[in-house]
Amino acid sequence: MKKFYSLPPLPYSFKDLEPYVSEEQLKIHYEKHHQAYVNGANAILEKLDKSREEGTELDIKALLKELSFNIGGHLLHSLYWYNLSPASKTKEIPEGIIKEKLDKEFGNFERFKKEFIKAALTVEGSGWACLTYCKQTDRPIIMQVEKHNTNVYPMFRILLVCDVFEHAYYLDYKNDRAKYLENFFKIINWETVNKRLLEIL
């Protein structure tokens, strides 16, 4: 039996990220927007399955582009939920191996934060700011992702993601993306970021 995508369970309740992300904002983001990417990816997989069974032709180029967009949306959101945590359980400055790598690369945490926020503010259109890790150079590298699938560094492990689609913050922050990003750093689950890094070192 072929498998399809599904929403991952949230590791906290809808109220737990307040006051930085409201219950309403989180619920709509998770249940409506993330679910839409899951549904979109699964619909395309079903269309591909049906075409192969019936021997019919499809516009593969268009379908694969749409599939990339929806799978990217699903996977990036799945990372996003788990690199967030209630403020009461987080530390604004990371500890452990991730701090060592950030200090070595950027000089200090504040410089990393400044560059990360700048990347998130300047994504063209909708997209993501990500902290990735390159094993070949042993360097953490910031990545901008337009939409869910453009400007991706192939094979770089993503350690931290920030959603800068308006659907991630508009109910709480309107068009003030900078304020959303400043508050994003108050609910980062650095323990999860550390674990993601340790898995590949």
- Domain architecture of the chain: domains with CATH: 23-85 (1.10.287.990), 88-198 (3.55.40.20)
Residue 103: pLDDT above 90? yes
Per cent of the chain over pLDDT 90 is 97
pLDDT at 1: 83
* Mean pLDDT for the chain overall: 97
Residue 189 gets the label, from left (phi > 0), alpha (psi -120 to 50) or beta, of beta
- State the pTM of this model: 0.96
